[in-house]
Structure formats: C-alpha cells, structure tokens
Homo-oligomer: A and B are copies of this chain.
Amino acid sequence: MATRARVGVLGASGYTGAELVRLLLRHPRAEIALLTADRRAGMEMRDVFPQFSPYALPKLVSIDSVDWVGANLDLIFCALPHATTQKVVSAIFGATPAARIVDLSADFRLADTASYAKWYGHEHHAPDLQKQAVYGLVEVYRREIKTAHLVANPGCYTTCAQLPLLPLIKAKAIDLDEIVVDAKSGMTGAGRSARESMIFSEVSEGFHAYGVGGHRHMAELDQEFSRAADREVVVSFTPHLVPMNRGILSTIYVRGKRGRSAQDLHAILLKSYVKEPFVHVLPFGETPQTRHVRGSNMTFIGVAKDRIEGRAIVVSALDNLVKGASGQAIQNMNLMLGYPETTGIEQVALFP
C-alpha cells in the first residue's frame, strides 16, 4: 500500500471540518493526524459528531496547543470561521515555512487586499501571504495549485456561479452587463453556529432571499469574472435559503452576444468540460437538481433557451459542502501532493 500523507484539519467541529473527516477517512492516501476545535478541545470527535463513533480519530485539541514542527503534517486544511484564519496561517508558516495549506475560509480569496478591507470591514492581517495565495478553483488554476503552498479554496456560491459562467465570459459569448445570478442554497452553507434565524422552525416550510443587493460573495465573483473578461464585470447576485441541508442551485440569466444562441452557449460549456471529472454538462434543454449531486464532488450544468429571443438560462448545481467546500479542498490537496486528482472524492451522489 502507498504511504499516506499526514493531514490536519483545523476547525473539525464545523460542517466543512466534519465533511473533510468524512472524505479523508476513506481517502487511500491520507491519514488524519490532527484535529483541532478550540471550544471543544479535549473532546473526542464522536462527542461533536456522533457519526464518527465507530472510527478511531485523534482527540480534538486547541490550535494554540499544536506544535507545528512536531506535528509533521504534509498538508493542513483550515476550516475556521472567516476573519480568524489569516493570523493562524501566518503562525503556521512562521513555525514551518514549508507548510502546505488549503484554506476553506474567505480570508485569502481576494488578491486585492484593499477590496478585502472594503468587503470585510477590517485590514488584511497577512498581506504578504496573500501574494502567494493561489485561488483554488481547480478547473481554472490547476497548474498554479500544484506547486502552491497556500490555496484559497473558493466559496460555495461562487464555485457554483463561476463554473458555468467563466467559459462563456472567456469566449466573449455573453453580454457582460446583463448577467443575473439567482442563487439558492441549503442551510449547511450558513455553518453550524446557533443563531435564532437558523433554528429549524425558522427555516422549515418557508423560503426567502437574504443579503439582497450586497452579499460578500460578490467580491469574489467580481474578481474572477473581471479577470476572465479582462475588464470590470459586475453581476447581479441574490442568494436565497432553501429548507434543505445540502445543495446550491444557481439560475443564471444571460444574453448571447454576437448572435450566440442558447445552443451555442451549451456547446461552449460542453467543450470546456468534456474532460473534467467533476463538471458534467447535461444535454441541451435539461437542467439539474441539487439532489442529484448530494454528497458528491460533481457540478451539473444545464442550458435552456429562454423564450425571449437571444437570451438563455443556465442552471448549475453542486453540493455546497463537497464541491463547494471540502471535496474541492481535497481535490486541491490531491494536486498539491501529486495524487490523481479524483482520489478519495469519487463518491456517487446519495439520492434519494
């Protein structure tokens, strides 16, 4: 049997942390060597996530108590809350400059630290590290990720919007000033924190938009869409909450440019992703459902003709905890450690 990389998960008591553990427990080339959870330090993983009761796992420790040199980790996943990661990552690199980190927070996603300060309301705590950070959308930055020491794993909403839109933007196939992204997410996207607005009876049997007009994910979209278009692109983006655990669906309204029909757009996407293991373009006219990617690292994309001449509707779906977070993070790890990209994240979707 091949050797296993020693892997740490910082923030193991949250949902993306637990999802990393779920996937890593069956990853043939990884060994879970460290689990941290500051508020639960000293507890067993089974105490915070009983589904792991049958498995042997390291006890939860606090981040401060970790000896980064002694831990001898080949790769570290940071699944910590936004705004706390910059300092942690600085500390790790301070102790072990050769460390390799995949960060699942938003802390290193914005290349422009001024933009970060504007959207997040405070100065960036590690501007030098930001320069080394590689944006971890594998399908776009595969080459850069392989040698990166710090990968900023993309957000769930933004992965779901970028995968269908980037090829169309790059191909100059759609009007850049009229893109509307209507996004719907399951509740795990909001994390595991106990807020009144998240309790079952506030969420079940209802539907609503939130952050209308100004959601933080927009900065990340602006950055990547503008890079791809080589001009400023600002899309209209509205997130909604669905009474379900997992899944994001984006309904994207676009207008073809220079005579591109909906079918032309479909052809562009089909060609872009024909070799990608985790992006699947459905036949023209079919659109995806979140349930059919649940638990898997797949993104499904569909394209249909709008009845308004010249317009098309593009729909994409992924599991926010897998391709939108922990699955993509392991995809990044596989690249960074030289493993086949699909190792350990080939689970078939769980439906029903």
Contact B282 A49 (CB under 8 A): no
Interface string of A175-211 (1 = CB under 8 A from B): 0001010101011100011111011111111111110
A349 sits at the interface (CB 8 A): yes
Contact B198 A295 (CB under 8 A): no
Inter-chain contact A348/B51, CB cutoff 8 Å = yes
Per-residue 0/1 for A221-261: is the Cβ within 8 Å of any B Cβ (1 yes, 0 no)?
00000000000001110101011111101010100000000
The reply to whether B200 and A204 contact each other, CB–CB distance below 8 Å, is yes
Copies of chain A in the complex: 4
Measured CB to CB, the closest approach of chain B to A195, in angstroms, equals: 5
Cβ-defined partner of A236 (8 Å) among B18, B302, B311, B317: B311
**Known contacts A22-B350, A247-B206, A313-B212: does B187 contact A192 (CB below 8 Å)?**
no
Q: Is A266 an interface residue (CB 8 A)?
A: no
| Bound CA span A74–B135, Å | 48
Determine if A307 and B214 form an interchain contact, defined as CB atoms under 8 angstroms apart. yes
Would A240 and B251 count as touching, CB distance under 8 A?
A: yes
Chain B hits for A25, CB < 8 A: 348
CB < 8 Å neighbour of A307 from B193, B218, B346, B350: B218
Task: Collect the chain B residues with CB atoms within 8 Å of residue A49's CB.
Answer: 292, 351
The stretch among A52-60, A98-106, A166-174 that forms the contact with chain B is: A52-60
Given A253-B180, A307-B234, A289-B205 contact (CB < 8 Å): no
With beta carbons under 8 angstroms apart, the residue of B51, B199, B214 that contacts A293 is: B51
Residues of B within 8 A of A306 (CB): 213, 236
Partner of A196, one of B26, B187, B194, B196: B194
Contact A313 B238 (CB under 8 A): yes
In the assembled complex, which residues on chain B have CB atoms less than 8 Å from the CB atom of A52? 348
Minimum C-beta distance from A239 to chain B (A): 10
Chain A residues near B (Cβ < 8 Å):
15, 18, 21-22, 25-26, 49-55, 178, 180, 182, 184, 186-188, 192-196, 198-210, 212-214, 218, 234-236, 238, 240, 242-247, 249, 251, 253, 280, 282, 285, 287-296, 298, 300, 302, 304-308, 311, 313, 315, 317, 321, 346-352
